[in-house]
Amino acid sequence: MPADPAVTPELVAKHGLMPEEFERIKKILGRDPNFTELGIFSVMWSEHCSYKNSRRELKKFPTSGPNILVKAGEENAGVVDIGDGWAVAFKIESHNHPSAIEPFQGAATGVGGIIRDIFTMGARPEFLLNSLRFGPITEFRRPDTGNGKEKDLSAIPNPKSEIQNNRRLFTGVVSGIAHYGNCIGIPTIGGEIYFDESFEGNPLINVFCLGVLRHEQLARGAASGVGNPVFYVGAETGRDGLAGAAFASRELTEESREDRPAVQVGDPFKEKLLLEACLELLATDAVAGIQDMGAAGLTCSTCETASRGGTGVEIDLAKVPKREPGMTPYEILLSESQERMLIIAKRGRENIVREVFEKWDVPCAEIGRVTDDGMMRVRNNGTLVAEIPAKPLADEAPLYSREARKPTADFADDTDGSWNQKISAPSAVESLRMLLRDPSIASKNWVYRQYDHMVRTGTVVLPGSDAAVFRVREANKILAATTDCNSLYCRLGPREGGRIAVAEAARNLTCSGATPLAVTDNLNFGNPYKPENFWQLREAVEGVAETCRAFGTPVVGGNVSLYNESPASVVDPTPTVAMVGLIDDEAHITTQFFKAEGDAIILVGEIGDEMGASHFLKVCHGRKEGLPPRLDVERELAVQNSVRELIRAGLVKSAHDCSEGGLAVALAESCFNPDGRFGAEIEIASTLEDYAILFNESQSRIVISCAADDAEKVMTILRSKNIPHSLLGSVAIKTLCIKTAAAELSWPIDDLYDDWFHAIRRAVETDSEPVPSL
């Protein structure tokens, strides 16, 4: 085995550590670190593991509540009480950089990693969601990324090579998600996908998993009980994923794009065995602590369990199962090979551990013990290779408050009233079709048809409605879940974008008949050392935090993914919000689709007129500009509470959130019932321009339908609560007709549906071989 290299300033810098951080390491150790110890500190003090540039911002989130059993930061996932002795564990995490390099394996192992975070808590994983961002996959206009006044770039097509690469990333990621979820037998039942130039080469792959457990099944990741044995279980360690946490904590460059060893390789069939073995073992009371080997692998799981337990851990790397010969201590400790766990067993019950894992044919090795000296001590065949105090390593990384500065380029300096002078609108008829064809708005059926969303037979509402709805039979509970974020809003107003992400997530749950419970978030931003990026992060966090407090939805955990940029661009800021809600009664489950001809259609909320940051401007005019819509939290709460009350009273047949594309898109989507398409006869009394009526994205609006005989009762209830509302018209067949003060517009529903349903399939199959479905 070759000798370790000398630790030089150049080597320290290559490991992503600042000179002052290296000095701090020397003070902690009382000496210079060796090469292996330098690698350990580099991954544990990376942004990906330590959140050293974001942790102070995260403290702004509300994290407590009467139903919170495990708070953010305490364990691998947050845990929320749902009544009758049952709880849910859920979390969202990213695998952005790996997916940019190897989209299939990057996405697949992202799914595997979030599943392990859930069953580590003692919960059986029930379902998955994902929130994805890619560059454009259609060859249409490129939005003007300036202020729109100097130069109109709307006619410039996207370069074909970039489009093809975006399609490769998109199809590869979808295949990876489908592969892992389908093979392990956990349904992917919802999520969101957006396409924008800022994500070219920088896709965002955020994956959410939820599991269910009894309160007494809750497992902890602490190395408790001095003398207790430490077991390594799961797949053998290889060189895949080496130092992946450090890789994820720097910008993507041409050099890092060739860093393929940093991308892990997953095996969902092995993870299924590991899952069942761990849950069976947890039921035996033989476990004192359990921890996933995720980011930073064996290093992270060892020092974090010791730090949580206030103990130490000593391991011998010679006992670690390996699949490659000649691995160095550095490689073994920093490998991020998948499907591995660290288990602290109760002394005297070692044979139970061995018997369970032998039954499931999962590798299992006793590699060390819990000590009382607070040290992470690593030996290799008896020779000491690393000795570090566990708590400073795991919990005392340096924390920073980076410089924050509002971008000098002001993309949001126009008032909503100025659009008439700035744009020459295509006809409203063609604009709606353009919006429905846009892949960000179009049906995602090409994607979710590749996911087995019916495995475990708990999915109640199929993908495509406002939120996913899932029945947990063993608990007799009905859950709803959603992921939401409008990155364009966050680019043009990050605080308002963060506020709206929370409000829209709650609105989607409300439209499904659920009461929101709690949030997990994934903060996707650029390099925090750049003041404009850090300003966006701070603003968005404060917007999310403020609105979570207003909605009573604590943040129970999540992920921060920074450095999402390349030399070409930084991603639009994307603070993804995943929210979980509870539906009390099966009769309250509501979908967005119209149900019967003649039903009344009512808009709960105002018609609105806010055109800034709208998809209409982006898709139809190639402009990413304007002030995003403003959120009135009190009105939002009043609208949502009223709609939930109407649902529970049995008065609502359908409910659909008005979001991207505005009222016209919401009405069209409500017509696309999978069991039989409908139309609508709509009349809107407003003096606004047609495009402002139809395509503005003002907040706090929900389109509902009800039986014609119930319409007056519904509006009486809304009037009694001073909720703005309008009787828009009625459900029809074959045609969507909208009459305004200026025009009478009409679209055959079959044409709109064809635009919307087939847009993504046509995009990915253009000028290439058809993309196979799994």
User: One of 95, 179, 453, 656 is an active-site residue; which one?
Assistant: 95
One-letter amino acid at 61 equals F
Residue located via tokens 């993908």: 463
State the Cα–Cα distance between residues 627 and 35, nearest whole angstrom: 51
For the record, the structure tokens of 228 come out as 């207790």
Nearest CA to 165 among 568, 660, 489?
Answer: 568
189 three-state secondary structure: strand
Average model confidence (pLDDT) across the chain: 90
For the record, the structure tokens of 641 come out as 């509470």
For residue 240, the model assigns a pLDDT of 78
For residue 363, the model assigns a pLDDT of 96
Inter-helix orientation angle 494-511/633-648, to 10°: 10
Residue 97 known to be catalytic? no
Angle at 262 between CA 260 and CA 263, to 5 degrees: 75
CB 590 within 8 A of CB 514: no
Q: Which of 422-426, 720-724, 769-773 has the lowest mean pLDDT?
A: 769-773
Chain segment 212-271, per-residue pLDDT in tens:
999 999 998 888 899 999 999 999 999 876 754 445 445 656 555 555 455 778 899 999
For the record, the structure tokens of 481 come out as 């879940």
Residue 76 pLDDT exceeds 60: yes
For residue 770, the model assigns a pLDDT of 42
DSSP 673-710: -TTS--EEEEE----S-HHHHHH---SS-EEEEE-GGG
Please state the pTM of the whole predicted model: 0.93
Q: Which of 3-7, 386-390, 484-488 has the lowest mean pLDDT?
A: 3-7
Residue 543 pLDDT exceeds 90: yes
Strand segments (E) across 543-631: 555-561, 574-583, 600-604
Q: Could you tell me how far CA 743 lies from the centroid of its own chain? A: 41
User: One of 48, 97, 588, 725 is an active-site residue; which one?
Assistant: 48
Torsion angles phi and psi, residue 726, rounded to 5: -145, 135
Instruction: Report the C-alpha dihedral over residues 50, 63, 118, 114, rounded to 10 degrees.
Output: -50
| Count of Cβ atoms closer than 10 Å to residue 743 Cβ | 12
> What is the percent of the chain with per-residue pLDDT over 70, rounded to a whole number?
91
Cβ neighbours of residue 660 closer than 8 Å, sequence gap 6 or more: 440, 441, 486, 615, 697
Chain segment 421-440, per-residue pLDDT in tens:
555 556 889 999 999 999 99
Residue 453 known to be catalytic? no
For the record, the structure tokens of 94 come out as 């990213």
Give the mean model confidence (pLDDT) for residues 24-34: 96
State the Cα–Cα distance between residues 326 and 315, nearest whole angstrom: 18
Look at 31 and 426; give whichever has higher pLDDT.
Answer: 31
For residue 155, the model assigns a pLDDT of 41
For residue 418, the model assigns a pLDDT of 58
DSSP code of residue 63: -
Give the mean model confidence (pLDDT) for residues 326-333: 93
Cβ neighbours of residue 681 closer than 8 Å, sequence gap 6 or more: 729, 730, 732, 737
Cβ neighbours of residue 556 closer than 8 Å, sequence gap 6 or more: 63, 68, 70, 71, 72, 77, 78, 79, 80, 90, 91, 518, 519, 520
The DSSP bridge pattern shows strands 340-345 and 188-195 to be unpaired
> Residue 4 belongs to what H/E stretch?
none
Residue located via tokens 């300096």: 413
For the record, the structure tokens of 596 come out as 């019967």
CB 202 within 8 A of CB 252: yes
State the Cα–Cα distance between residues 26 and 46, nearest whole angstrom: 17
For the record, the structure tokens of 712 come out as 């007056």
State the Cα–Cα distance between residues 569 and 564, nearest whole angstrom: 9
Nearest CA to 273 among 156, 418, 119?
Answer: 119
Residue 622 pLDDT exceeds 70: yes
Residue 542 pLDDT exceeds 70: yes
Q: Which of 241-255, 267-281, 680-694, 751-765 has the lowest mean pLDDT?
A: 241-255
Q: Which of 261-265, 628-632, 706-710 has the lowest mean pLDDT?
A: 261-265
Instruction: Report the C-alpha dihedral over residues 589, 592, 597, 601, rounded to 10 degrees.
Output: 100
Cβ neighbours of residue 620 closer than 8 Å, sequence gap 6 or more: 425, 426, 431, 434, 435
Edge-to-edge strand order for the sheet containing 124-134? 68-70, 78-83, 86-94, 204-214, 124-134, 188-195
